[in-house]
Amino acid sequence: MSSLASTLKDPSLLVESRPFINGEWPTFASSQAFPVYNPATNTILGSAPECTVDDVNSAISAASEAFPLWRAQSGRQRAKIIRNIAELLVEHKSDIAKIITAENGKAKADAEGEVMFSAGFFEWFAEEAPRLFGDVVPHSQPNSRIQVIKQPVGVCGLITPWNFPLAMAARKVAAALAAGCTVVLKTDGVTPFSGNFLGILAERAGLPKGVLNIVTALDNTPKLGLALCESDVVKKISFTGSTRVGKILMKQSADTLKKLSLELEGNAPFIVFDDADLETAVSSAIIAKFKVTGQTCVCANRIYVQEGIYDQFSKRLIEEVGKFKVGNGTDPTVTHGPMTTSVDKVEEHVKDALKKKATLLLGGQRLPDLGKNFFQPTVLGDVDDTMAVTYEETFGPLAALTKFKTEDEVIARANKSDVGLASYVMTNNLARSYRVQERLEFGMVAINTGIISDWAAPFGGVKHSGMGREGSKYGVDDYMVLKTIVTGSISTVISILKSAKSHHLLSQTSFPQPSYRNKKTKNLTTSDMATEKMKSSPLKPSTPIAVPPGRDRAFTVDR
């Protein structure tokens, strides 16, 4: 048993050196595995399987075989199993958070928050599963009808990143399962354990074999991605990661014309207007910039502050960032853990900005006494648009402050980016908030908050930040296809009435009847007149009406 497993209440949640294919955990030789490191201590936690193309093809075959059974389950049947996974995540929150902190490095509170956020996705999509119905659309012809139904797209290849190793898998897997799809999940080689335990929980939740398959790789990652993209069996690819890799996957999927969901890089502007509430702006900036040590795709990368509030904002931001405690995420008093991969890039952005006359307001250095992956939470002032930090995603604990004068100026500067994922606006002017949110070229806009993600909110970007949406009711639609069904020669009520007119069926209808004045009698409705006429009718009670061929011959009239 590894040292990490020995700290868990349920050591079986830590699965080493084995993929999860068709409900089984085949053993891999040590020569076919790669080491998994703790970024805080740089020590080896264990090993994960270096899966091959053959392994991926086995997983695809298992998912394909399981698809007919899983898609045939009712939405409520699928929902029960998906909800079971949510409950198991909550039940094992402490152990799962320990695994995430160990291989990702994030603080204990952040890791536990990720577990609960992930459980929320399974709970949300469990509720969506029974609601995946289509529409009935009026046809241009009176005797025809159009039905639009939703059906699962099929086998899905899901590729997840290391920064939210569980939450990103949960957001994709839960939506796919709710839609009736089967899955091949490729977890990131930096954080493989945080995806593998989903296989354990899926088994315990009652998920049928082959519905969820999990493969891992480090050096073989490009080959596995290519195999998923080129497979005719895989009908959809969902990827979260860099724009560069997203474009590669899109090209590789072209020959098989797959559905694609690509959640790629961001370069989020955080705009603070003079009329903003200062404390709200500062607290929102702390969340948007420094959550998970700045390693999220929706992190505030460029902080634009209007001249009238710049000094106050920068002072308060420095005060709050100065309170952070950096260290090993296993320490419950630590607010920010190590970086996982991009510490060199943060250092390069700081040096570039200072060389171009930015002002260092706080931090700016590595923390070698803690380890090679630690960097001080940093605040730069007097940043301009020539500095790399404004046009490249930093992915680290670096807040870059820059001044602006007018609304038009800041919108133009914010939109001057190839990517468009998230953006943030701080203002107490309602009219301005509406103007700005309409003009910003981003898939998501947060007004007076630093939190942009929610189970119910569609998550995704525009421009080079990708395509498709995750989370929300729109997210599950990305795992479905529409089927149009046109039915003709439908017998309508009007045609039945016409065919039965000679048998006085009119008296049995409940349609509103107009009133007519008869000069020699009282006012009579058409129903009254029909009733009078039927008194002399030869029809007996419950006499079958002679209906045309193809009509419902059980239709009778009682009087």
Q: What is the pLDDT of residues 377-400, one digit of tens each?
A: 999 999 999 999 999 999 999 999
Residue 234 has pLDDT above 70, yes or no: yes
The mean per-residue pLDDT over the stretch 360-382 comes to 98
Report whether 356 contacts 369 (CB < 8 A): no
Same domain membership, residue 252 and residue 206: yes
Query: Is residue 263 annotated as a catalytic residue, yes or no?
Result: yes
The residue type at 158: L
Query: pLDDT-based confidence at 517, cuts 50/70/90?
Result: very low
Answer yes or no: is 30 within a domain.
no
What is the domain count for the chain? 3
The mean per-residue pLDDT over the stretch 352-364 comes to 98
Same domain membership, residue 513 and residue 393: no
Same domain membership, residue 321 and residue 240: no
β-pairing, 300-306 vs 268-272, is parallel
Residue 191: give the domain boundaries: 51-264+475-485
Same domain membership, residue 234 and residue 85: yes
CATH code (residue 290): 3.40.309.10
Question: From CA 488, how far away is CA 502, in angstroms rounded?
Answer: 26
Answer yes or no: is 23 within a domain.
no
Question: From CA 502, how far away is CA 173, in angstroms rounded?
Answer: 61
The residue type at 485: I
SS (H, E, C) 368-415: CCCCCCCECCEEEECCCCCCHHHHCCCCCCEEEEEEECCHHHHHHHHH
Where do the DSSP E strands lie in 19-103? 33-37, 44-49
Per-residue model confidence as pLDDT tens digits over 69-127: 999 999 999 999 999 999 999 999 999 999 999 999 999 999 999 999 999 999 999 99
Neighbours of 189 (CB within 10 A): 17
Same domain membership, residue 411 and residue 295: yes
Catalytic residue among 51, 156, 181, 297: 297
pLDDT for 356: 98
Per-residue model confidence as pLDDT tens digits over 40-53: 999 999 999 999 99
Question: From CA 82, how far away is CA 314, in angstroms rounded?
Answer: 45
Tell me the pTM.
Answer: 0.87
Q: What is the largest CA-CA distance in the chain?
A: 110
Same domain membership, residue 446 and residue 314: yes
Residue 521 has pLDDT above 50, yes or no: no
Which tokens is 382 given?
């007097």
Same domain membership, residue 223 and residue 313: no
* DSSP classification of residue 191: S
β-pairing, 556-557 vs 543-544, is antiparallel
Answer yes or no: is 113 within a domain.
yes
Catalytic residue among 16, 123, 263, 470: 263
Name which of 408, 378, 293 is nearest 339 in CA terms: 293
Same domain membership, residue 285 and residue 238: no
* Numbers of helices and strands, H then E, in the chain: 17, 24
3-state class of 158 per DSSP? Answer: strand
Answer yes or no: is 465 within a domain.
no
Q: Which residues contact 512 (CB under 8 A, 6 or more apart)?
A: none
Which tokens is 367 given?
């923390």
Answer yes or no: is 468 within a domain.
no
CATH code (residue 92): 3.40.605.10
Residue 216 has pLDDT above 80, yes or no: yes
Question: From CA 450, how far away is CA 402, in angstroms rounded?
Answer: 18
Answer yes or no: is 43 within a domain.
no
CA–centroid distance for 300 within its chain: 20
Report whether 379 contacts 321 (CB < 8 A): yes
Provide φ and ψ at 316, rounded to 5°: -70, -35
Which tokens is 152 given?
């699962």
Same domain membership, residue 235 and residue 161: yes
Between 508 and 148, the higher pLDDT residue:
148
Same domain membership, residue 281 and residue 256: no
The mean per-residue pLDDT over the stretch 518-545 comes to 44
Answer yes or no: is 26 within a domain.
no
* DSSP classification of residue 439: H
* Residue labelled with tokens 């008093």: 333
Question: From CA 331, how far away is CA 290, in angstroms rounded?
Answer: 18
Query: pLDDT-based confidence at 498, cuts 50/70/90?
Result: low
- Cross-strand pairs, 505: none
Name which of 102, 85, 104 is nearest 7 in CA terms: 102
Answer yes or no: is 330 within a domain.
yes
Flag the least confident range among 203-207, 331-335, 531-535. Answer: 531-535
* Residue labelled with tokens 């199993």: 81
Same domain membership, residue 427 and residue 510: no
The dihedral over CA atoms of 37, 41, 43, 46, expressed in degrees to the nearest 10, equals -50
Same domain membership, residue 529 and residue 393: no
pLDDT for 3: 87
Residue 527 has pLDDT above 60, yes or no: no
The residue type at 44: I
3-state class of 112 per DSSP? Answer: helix
* DSSP classification of residue 437: H
Report helix, strand and coil shares of the chain as percent, to nearest 5.
40, 20, 40
Provide φ and ψ at 91, rounded to 5°: -60, -35
Mean pLDDT estimate for the chain: 91
Which tokens is 327 given?
């260290």
Name which of 270, 295, 265, 303 is nearest 423 in CA terms: 270
Report whether 279 contacts 312 (CB < 8 A): no
* DSSP classification of residue 114: H
Name which of 193, 179, 436, 208 is nearest 304 in CA terms: 436
